[in-house]
Amino acid sequence: MGTANDFRKLALSLPSVIESSHMNHPDFRVRCADNKLRIFATLSGEAIGRGVVNLTLDQQAAFCEELPDVFSPVQGGWGRMGMTYVHLEAATEDTLLGALTTAHRNVVAKSMEKKAAKSTARKTTRTPAKIKR
């Protein structure tokens, strides 16, 4: 059903996304609130028909439970951080778009949370000016 080209086309259809490369594999990055490009998906398993999306652990569990033929955790530490394989041949276009959109939103939201936390930390850690006598 799905192919690496479908994955690529759908990833690039999302807002502020560019294709780049990470460890000699295509990746998809979104420009975030801090103006940095952050990876939300890769085609690191393209040669064997797999893409990877960046999900939360709860999302990963739900996706894998609902569609075990389509989604599985990446092995090792990356999988324990939410990185999830998408088995492209088993995925419909709607399923691919849903997974990519979820990963895209996760990365954008995390960036916005970090930016807000830094802003709050700066406001609360400022020391008052010395009082002249």
Spatial contact of 107 and 52, defined as CB atoms under 8 Å apart: no
What one-character-per-residue DSSP string does the chain give? ---HHHHHHHHHTSTTEEEEEETTEEEEEEE-TTS-EEEEEEEEEGGGTEEEEE--HHHHHHHHHH-TTTEEEPSHHHHHTTEEEEEGGG--HHHHHHHHHHHHHHHHHHHHHHHHHHHHHHHHHPPPPPPP-
Considering the entire predicted model, what is its pTM? 0.84
Spatial contact of 11 and 27, defined as CB atoms under 8 Å apart: no
**In CATH, what class is 4-125?**
alpha beta
Digit-coded pLDDT (tens) for 61-116: 999 999 999 999 999 999 999 999 999 999 999 999 999 999 999 999 887 776 66
More confident residue, 35 or 127: 35
Domain segments of the chain: what residues?
4-125
